């Protein structure tokens, strides 16, 4: 297993992070145990969770699994989305973050969380208030590194500026969506992360299963998130995405790769990325994805795969700057 530094934190994490969203959902506890043990067998020391996964059961199961070797693994959790009917059981207020962390610590059966994400930008809470809440938790020793997920580049930069001005612990890493059909992160988020020295732990490298080899222009399985979950159907519902999935699957098979493994290896090969988050409902799925560890992603192979989907325009929309007609190159 290759280990990479997580931003400027000084800690090393495996080049793949295992996401435990399936624990307590599609994967029962026995299956979760088998998946976790296999992850540890191959050297994965990085496990992602959130307080909303399986209504909290993901954290409960993960807490039992890490017992006895807690300090050998890097554990993450998150807060923002509703955890109950109470009007304040959501958001990124200092109050909610305090309560959410306490609840996650109990479920995880630990006294600290290595990386704690704000799961989504809070439009109604002052960002300084949110960061103050994270700083409180750092000083109390309940979290070590603050982080954010689903933030725009400007929101991350604003957070870094506030933390620097106030002398608070800066964000250590970010968790954006990134895969072959969702490449918006390439425009500003990933370059910003490189410039600021942030760890990058992207989620959904398979596009909710779209890039697993099971989907195409005229085919889809009977079950799966893209079939059963309206949120995923909306996120990955455009026809061109299925065209990309079809071309990608054909490319992978023609070159002797499993599509799921190749999709993960492509995300992992971006120079800003620390560790993509993988997931699995069972051991067979996990074994397929773990083959990403054996793929040597050369610059040429990465470019061939990238050419299968539209490249997002630059932040300035000056698309000519990627060609010989750019004024910059004159």
For 85-96, the pLDDT digits (tens) are: 999 999 999 999
Pick from 55, 43, 54, 40: nearest CA to 14: 43
Statement: residue 220 has pLDDT above 90: no
d(CA 148, CA 173): 7
Q: Name the superfamily (CATH) of residues 3-322.
A: NADP-dependent oxidoreductase domain (3.20.20.100)
Please give the Cα distance from 178 to 212 (Å, whole number): 15
Q: Where are the domains of the chain?
A: 3-322
Q: Is 53 a catalytic residue?
A: yes
Closest by alpha carbon to 269, among 204, 223, 202? 202
Three-state secondary-structure class, residue 321: helix
Cα-Cα-Cα-Cα dihedral sign, residues 244, 245, 248, 254: negative
Q: How far apart are CA 213 and CA 248, in angstroms?
A: 8
pLDDT at residue 229 in the model? 87
Q: Region 122-128: what's the mean pLDDT? A: 97
Which candidate in 36, 53, 203, 232 is catalytic? 53
> Kind of pairing, strands 12-14 and 3-5?
antiparallel
Question: For the segment 277-316, what is each residue's pLDDT rounded down to a tens digit?
Answer: 999 999 999 999 999 999 999 999 999 999 999 999 989 8
Q: What CA–CA distance (Å, rounded) separates 96 from 85?
A: 13
User: In DSSP terms, which residues pair with 200 in a beta bridge?
Assistant: 174
Alpha helices (H) along the chain? 29-41, 57-66, 94-108, 127-139, 153-166, 189-196, 225-228, 230-235, 239-254, 259-268, 283-290, 299-306
Look-up of token digits 């300035």: 316
Instruction: Name the residue with tokens 């004159």.
Output: 330
Question: Scanning the structure block, which residue is given the tokens 């061109």?
Answer: 240
* Cα 290 to chain centroid, rounded: 16
* Of 218 and 55, the one with more pLDDT: 55
Which range has the worst mean pLDDT, 166-175, 303-312, 318-327?
318-327
Asked if 258 and 291 count as a contact pair (C-beta separation under 8 A), the reply is yes
| DSSP-based three-state secondary structure for 291 | helix
pLDDT of 330 strictly over 60: no
Q: Considering only CA atoms, which of 201, 232, 208 is closest in space to residue 78? A: 201
């Amino acid at each position: 297993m290759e280990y990479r530094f997580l931003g400027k934190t000084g800690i090393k994490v495996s080049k793949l992070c295992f996401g435990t969203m399936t624990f307590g959902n599609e994967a029962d506890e026995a299956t979760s145990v088998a998946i976790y043990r296999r992850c540890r067998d191959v050297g994965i020391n990085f496990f992602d969770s959130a307080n909303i996964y399986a209504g909290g059961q993901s954290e409960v199961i993960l807490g039992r699994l890490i017992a006895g070797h807690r300090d050998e693994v890097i554990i993450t959790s998150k807060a923002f989305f509703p955890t109950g009917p109470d009007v304040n059981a959501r958001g990124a207020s200092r109050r909610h973050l305090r309560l959410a962390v306490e609840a996650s610590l109990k479920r995880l059966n630990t006294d600290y969380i290595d990386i704690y994400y704000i799961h989504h930008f809070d439009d109604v809470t002052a960002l300084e208030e949110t960061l103050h809440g994270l700083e409180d938790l750092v000083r109390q020793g309940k979290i070590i590194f603050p982080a954010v997920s689903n933030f725009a580049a400007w929101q991350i930069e604003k957070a870094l500026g506030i933390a620097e001005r106030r002398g608070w612990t800066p964000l250590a890493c970010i968790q954006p969506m990134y895969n072959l059909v969702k490449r918006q992160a390439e425009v500003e988020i990933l370059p910003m992360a490189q410039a600021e020295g942030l760890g990058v732990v992207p989620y959904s490298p398979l596009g909710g299963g779209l890039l697993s080899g099971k989907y195409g222009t005229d085919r889809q399985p009977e079950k799966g998130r893209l079939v059963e979950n309206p949120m995923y159907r909306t996120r990955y519902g455009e026809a061109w995405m299925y065209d990309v999935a079809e071309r990608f699957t054909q490319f992978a098979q023609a070159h002797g790769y499993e599509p799921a493994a190749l999709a993960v290896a492509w995300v992992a090969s971006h120079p800003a990325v620390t560790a993509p988050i993988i997931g699995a409902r069972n051991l067979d799925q996990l074994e397929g994805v773990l083959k990403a560890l054996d793929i040597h992603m050369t610059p040429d192979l990465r470019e061939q795969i990238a050419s299968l989907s539209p490249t997002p325009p630059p932040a300035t929309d000056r698309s000519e700057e990627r060609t010989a007609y750019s004024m910059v190159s004159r």
